[in-house]
Amino acid sequence: MIPLKIRINAERRSLAITWDDGNVSLIPASRLRALSRAAHHIRSSIDGRKHSFDDVTVTSAETIGSYAIRLVFSDGHDRGIYPWRYLREIADTQA
């Protein structure tokens, strides 16, 4: 599960991913932000704090080695690293 192409859409509201098996995923920025595995976000979830990320956009992205991408969001969050396998899991479990 390796992305061949990753693109932030023009409105910065989603990430389009073309996978090596030919599948194409379109994942909303709000979903990616909500599913961040950053420590403070996980702690917030454990503590039961609810957050709305409906207006969040992706401001930039950078690859981390050959295994992940780091996304920066419009709310200042920049600590979420999304391994390819986790991105694919997010894409495959969208409602």
For 13-64, write each residue's pLDDT tens digit. 999 999 999 999 999 999 999 998 877 767 777 788 878 899 999 999 999 9
Closest C-alpha among 85, 79, 80 to residue 67 = 85
Structural domain of 31: 3-92
Domain count, the chain: 1
Q: What is the pTM of this model?
A: 0.89
**pLDDT at res. 41:** 67
More confident residue, 48 or 89: 89
Q: Residue 14: which CATH number?
A: 3.30.2020.30
Percent of residues in the chain assigned helix, strand, coil, to nearest 5: 25, 35, 40
pLDDT at 49: 80
